[in-house]
């Protein structure tokens, strides 16, 4: 969870995230609100996310407070489950584009983002 909660470092390991500014933190120093600038293949967007953490750092979820550019709404969650000496990470994401897209294309974009984020997270945690 330490790597996931370090949203200011996302541009270092998450494809497409250009910048992150933490706007507010909770009593533990974890982000409560953060502003993102993202871009990929000439498509740009900005959004501010509000975070909620489950007790014991089992999960963190987020919803967009505001959005501009190509994105109208962003919602997601990282969930951590202990499996012996290892941790399984699941990531769900829903992105509502600012322009109408066919369902299959929207799902493809979401899957691409999730796959890239999980691979980047794995590399970051493993120090590669």
Give the start-to-end residue ranges of the domains of the chain: 2-126
Q: In CATH, what class is 2-126?
A: alpha beta
Give residue 100's pLDDT.
84
2 vs 42: which has the higher pLDDT: 2
pLDDT of residue 107: 83
pLDDT at residue 47 is higher than 70? yes
pLDDT in tens, 60-93: 999 999 999 889 999 999 999 988 888 899 999 8
pTM of the model: 0.88
CB atoms within 10 A of CB 55: 6
Bridge-based pairing of strands 86-97 and 71-83 is antiparallel
Beta-strand (E) ranges in the chain? 17-25, 31-40, 43-53, 59-69, 71-83, 86-97
Average pLDDT over residues 31-51: 91
Q: Which is it for the CA torsion 19, 72, 113, 55, positive or negative?
A: positive
């Amino acid at each position: 969870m330490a790597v996931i909660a370090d949203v200011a470092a996302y541009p270092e390991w998450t494809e497409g995230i250009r910048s992150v500014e933490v706007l507010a933190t909770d009593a533990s120093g974890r982000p409560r609100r953060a502003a993102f600038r993202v871009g990929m293949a000439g498509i740009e967007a900005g959004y501010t996310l509000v975070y909620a953490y489950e007790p014991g750092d089992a999960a963190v979820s987020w919803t967009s407070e505001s959005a501009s550019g190509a994105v109208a709404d962003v919602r997601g969650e990282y969930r951590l489950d202990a499996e012996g000496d290892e941790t399984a990470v699941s990531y769900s994401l829903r992105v509502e584009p600012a322009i109408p897209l066919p369902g299959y294309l929207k799902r493809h974009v979401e899957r691409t983002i999730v796959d890239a984020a999980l691979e980047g997270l794995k590399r970051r945690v493993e120090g590669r």
